[in-house]
Structure 1
Amino acid sequence: MADLKKILDYLSKLELNNNREWYHNHKQERLEILQEFENFLQDLIFEIGNFDESILHINPKDITFKMVRDTRFGADKSPYNPVMRAHISAKGKLPIPVGYFISLQPHDGTMLGGGLFASTFKDATSMIRDYILIHGEELDKIVNHSDFQSRFSLLGAKLKKVPRGYDSEHPYGDYLKYKSMFVEEFIADRELHDYQSFVKLAAKEFQYMKPLNDFLNKALIDFQMPER
């Protein structure tokens, strides 16, 4: 069992003291928080494993993201992200295959997500579009299922028109406009107060996201991550 309040309290303090001196002076606290987060992820992995065994081999240490920000290109020069993030999928934190994304953030900013968040992999976008050409009805049923509709809206970078090379009159042409395709749900801080309840809540919401993940992963089964 992990102390989620301890995690949120640390992140709140980092948010108020987003500078290198404070960050390094509180190294021990940061390491303790990271261990709490990894403990939480292990419990969550086991809970997700009840409906998706493909992620049971994942080590929590391998799926977390660093808090250090790349400040080279953005207007915000604060050096750290006051958030704990992880992507749980069959291949760890790589964006593909898609899996279950979780971001712990105070002030009701905790987010659960699923699907393809990245819109920069042109090959992935093309593979999904080509798959939709044949299996668009399957995606439409997923997106319009009552469980999905009552919880999520389909999100992602999207063109205004059906892309060149695809039939603009295709019955599922609106889905062809997407460059990325994901869902997300934000969780209030109070939902994290009961640890066991939150682990079950998060896993349950991920279970509702799984049909979309499965569809995208079938489309992306032959995708190869570009070499850096």
Structure 2
Amino acid sequence: MSIAVPKSALDFFKKLQKNNNREWFTEHKPEFKAIEAEVKTVYNELYNRLNAHDEVDKLKIFRIYRDVRFSKDKTPFKTHYGGSFHRKKPELRGGYYLHIQPNNESFIATGFWQPNKDDLFRIRKEFEMDASEMRDIMSDANFKATWGALEGEEVKTAPKGFSKEHENIDLIKKKMYIFTRKFSDKEVLAPDFVDTVEESFKAIRPFFDYMSDVLTTNLNGESML
């Protein structure tokens, strides 16, 4: 039997978007918990599948409650499911994320979101020295068809200590290195959605393998583990 995202999950969040208050949620919390249990089977299925060809040591499914302390938006609840899959560190780098939200706002994301300063500096130095392998990965036809172009915030010109005239400045000036793939509600509810997500995550592996090699070695290629 295939495991699929239930339509009730998207329907519930559509209602919550219109009734994002504690009174309404408290009244409908049993409904939410029942749906949440079904959705968790999707995340757990992906976790198990990823571990058949990767090493994922942790699945974190985020809670529905929003932290509103420093936000102008004071609505108390998220209107989406989010879950991240952590690869076994320090030898394996990169991570997977699945975001389920109605109105065609679902997506998957992979890569390096806000890497620490040491990792970011090491990546930039690698690209300063040679970015040919990274460009080969990004230009692969299957990779591009699945993930599109590299995304992520970047500095305006060049990071301190790097030349803004460098041939690889488009990669060096990135502050994060992420890829995303969006899904319509119809695609999310399709019986093969988990298959599609798994295949997409498989397609990112050349990028992860390359970055893992970079982040576990020095510029001479010597292991730092």
Using structure 2 for the length normalisation, give the TM-score.
0.83
Rounded to whole Å, the distance in 1 between the matches of 2:195 and 2:14 is 25
2:211 paired with 1:216: yes
2:129 paired with 1:127: no
SS of 2:181's equivalent in the other structure is strand
SS of 2:82's equivalent in the other structure is strand
Aligned counterparts, 1:140-159, within 5 A: 140-151=135-146, 152-159=148-155
2:115 paired with 1:103: no
SS of 2:178's equivalent in the other structure is strand
Rounded to whole Å, the distance in 2 between the matches of 1:112 and 1:135 is 29
After superposition, the C-alpha distances for 1:173-194 in whole angstroms (9 at most, x for unaligned) are 2201000110111101111333
What's 2:77 paired with?
80
Deviation at 1:27, TM superposition (A): 2.1
CA contact (8 A) 1:159 1:177 kept: yes
2:47 paired with 1:42: no
2:155 paired with 1:170: no
Rounded to whole Å, the distance in 2 between the matches of 1:66 and 1:131 is 37
Task: Select the structure that is richer in strand.
Answer: 2
Task: Quote the sequence identity (%).
Answer: 27
SS of 1:89's equivalent in the other structure is strand
Rounded to whole Å, the distance in 1 between the matches of 2:33 and 2:75 is 20
Aligned amino acid, residue 130 of structure 1 = K
Aligned amino acid, residue 85 of structure 1 = G
Aligned amino acid, residue 162 of structure 1 = A
Larger radius of gyration: 2
Aligned amino acid, residue 198 of structure 1 = F
What's 1:184 paired with?
180
CA contact (8 A) 1:155 1:183 kept: yes
Aligned amino acid, residue 141 of structure 1 = D
Match of 1:15 among 2, 13, 17: 17
Deviation at 1:139, TM superposition (A): 1.2
After superposition, the C-alpha distances for 1:83-142 in whole angstroms (9 at most, x for unaligned) are 0001112259xxx942111000011111011111236x3333223212333452211111
Match of 1:117 among 113, 116, 121: 113
Taking a change above 3 Å as real, the CA distance of residues 17 and 218 of structure 1, as seen in their structure-2 partners, is farther
What's 1:54 paired with?
55
Alignment root-mean-square deviation, CA: 2.3
Structure 1 stretches lacking a partner, 5+ long: 223-228
Greater shift, 130-139 or 26-35, is seen at 130-139
Using structure 1 for the length normalisation, give the TM-score.
0.82
Taking a change above 3 Å as real, the CA distance of residues 130 and 46 of structure 1, as seen in their structure-2 partners, is same
Q: How many residues align?
A: 212
Aligned amino acid, residue 200 of structure 2 = E
